[in-house]
């Protein structure tokens, strides 16, 4: 059976007290990804990076309706390179990951600062790990724009399929300092959300857009079995309209 569940359709991300269950699709699995506990728990080691009042990075560049709350993450004082992480167990989702697959969207707010030509940088990584801790894939987020002297937030995201065999996510924050005694690089609203892929994602890249529409037209015109969206065993206009319904429901 084809499935209509879509990442695009369920990304009203659910905030769950104490962290989301790894069995919950459509919920943020990163615990304390917004720093609003006022501590670094459960990020380890807890002495790498700090929570800092949101007045430090300010609100410039935030999308409408998006808040960073009272706290955010920052390098601040300490080593020139600082790093912390948390692991998210996905063992309970093994059959779905290895079967029809799950899609992950990794997103955050980030702010790098450049003053005098040197950058203080925040890097976020989400590693897909197998049972032995081996890396099967990676999503990475960085600030796409940090003009000299402009200290603003950027909303960034990356989407990918969990490789077969993925059993855990390793979420990492890392800051690096260019010069001076403090690292002015920030992150907030860090999120990792799993969902069943939309059936209209013909290209299997985790997104539904015009690339999928034209890919469907190609297999539809060729009579490819992959275009049989009704499951009737032949390819006809019913399949075209069935695909269109998925596409309109999923396209973001």
Q: Which residue has the tokens 């690292």?
A: 183
Quote the pLDDT of residue 2.
Answer: 40
Cα 229 from Cα 11, distance rounded (Å)? 25
Please name the fold of domain 8-195. Jelly Rolls (2.60.120)
Quote the pLDDT of residue 40.
Answer: 96
- Of the candidates 226, 233, 229, the one whose C-alpha atom is nearest the C-alpha of residue 244 is 229
Quote the pLDDT of residue 46.
Answer: 86
Burial class from Cβ neighbours inside 10 Å (0-12, 13-18, 19+) for residue 129 reads buried
Which residues, including other chains, have CB under 8 Å from residue 190's CB and lie 6 or more apart? 30, 33, 34, 73, 107, 108, 124, 171, 173
Question: Model's pTM, two decimal places?
Answer: 0.81
Burial class from Cβ neighbours inside 10 Å (0-12, 13-18, 19+) for residue 109 reads buried
Alpha-helical regions (H) of the chain:
94-98, 210-221, 237-250
pLDDT 10s digit of each residue in the chain, 252 long?
Answer: 343 333 333 332 222 233 334 467 889 999 999 999 999 999 999 889 999 999 999 999 999 999 999 999 999 888 899 999 999 999 999 999 999 889 999 999 999 999 877 899 999 999 999 999 999 999 999 999 999 989 999 999 999 999 999 999 999 999 999 888 889 999 999 999 999 888 778 887 777 888 888 888 898 889 988 888 888 888 888 888 888 887 887 776
- Domain coordinates in residue numbering, the chain: 8-195, 210-250
Cα 103 from Cα 90, distance rounded (Å)? 13
């Amino acid at each position: 059976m084809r499935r209509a569940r879509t990442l695009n359709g369920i990304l009203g991300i659910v905030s769950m007290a104490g962290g989301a269950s790894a069995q919950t699709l459509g919920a943020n699995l990163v615990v304390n990804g917004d720093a609003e506990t006022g501590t670094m728990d459960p990020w380890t080691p807890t002495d790498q990076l700090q929570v800092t009042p949101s007045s430090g990075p300010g609100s410039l560049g935030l999308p409408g309706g998006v808040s960073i709350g009272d706290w955010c993450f920052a390098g601040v004082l300490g080593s020139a390179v600082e790093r912390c992480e948390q692991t998210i167990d996905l063992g309970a989702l093994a059959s779905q990951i290895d079967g029809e697959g799950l899609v992950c969207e990794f997103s955050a707010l980030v702010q790098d600062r450049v003053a005098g030509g040197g950058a203080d940088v925040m890097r976020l990584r989400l590693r897909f790990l197998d049972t032995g801790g081996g890396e099967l894939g990676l999503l990475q987020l960085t600030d796409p724009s940090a003009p000299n002297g402009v200290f603003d937030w950027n909303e960034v995201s990356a989407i990918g399929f969990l490789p077969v065999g993925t059993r855990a996510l390793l979420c990492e924050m890392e800051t690096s300092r260019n010069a001076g005694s403090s690292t002015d690089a920030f992150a907030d609203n860090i999120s990792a959300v799993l969902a069943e892929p939309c059936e209209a994602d013909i290209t299997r890249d985790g997104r539904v857009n015009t690339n999928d529409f034209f890919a469907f037209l190609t297999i539809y015109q060729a009579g490819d079995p992959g275009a049989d969206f009704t499951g009737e065993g032949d390819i006809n206009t019913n399949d075209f309209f069935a695909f269109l319904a998925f596409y309109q429901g999923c396209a973001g």
